[in-house]
Structure 1
């Protein structure tokens, strides 16, 4: 999954607005650098937020096992869920979140596409 932008500063507001509109985000949304976001890589708060985007846009859903680092420096495994949405004039936008078993939502439409065996509780 490539996380690069190919736009100039003058194009960024226009393309950011296209991404925001397509995903149903705030009209003034811009990528958060501290989260590693770009116009083609956006984070969702949780599986419920990701599902809201999926219901709005459709798209391809994939998962992968990743290792995250907690604030105390310890590593832990997580299941990253990625929704890939084609956005005209921007390209594929990958919206990601980690599965949170405590957050509920296993019955959400987006979660029905993922075999339970792929989820880390």
Structure 2
């Protein structure tokens, strides 16, 4: 049995529970794993898109701040965001399909262990 408190944990749990486990589905999910998150272009582009989308929302929530303060808040939020390439499962650039599937299963097992009810 699992227990999730908070929306992030609930979404993680739904992702793990509803994941298809047949070989083709697991293979296609593993093929989408990130290989080079350290490339600044990906990180910077993801952060810029995040800022464009979230800046109007945060200005409504916290009016009266300077732009630099808004950007610092957004950066702190982005550090924890699943959109951040560094928060995604990564494999080495020359990983074969078995290594990708193993990384995907390890990620799902970590989520299951984190959300498993302690009896």
Superposition TM-score, scaled by structure 2 size:
0.23
Which protein is bigger by CA-based radius of gyration? 2
Superposition TM-score, scaled by structure 1 size:
0.23
Between structures 1 and 2, the one with greater strand share:
1
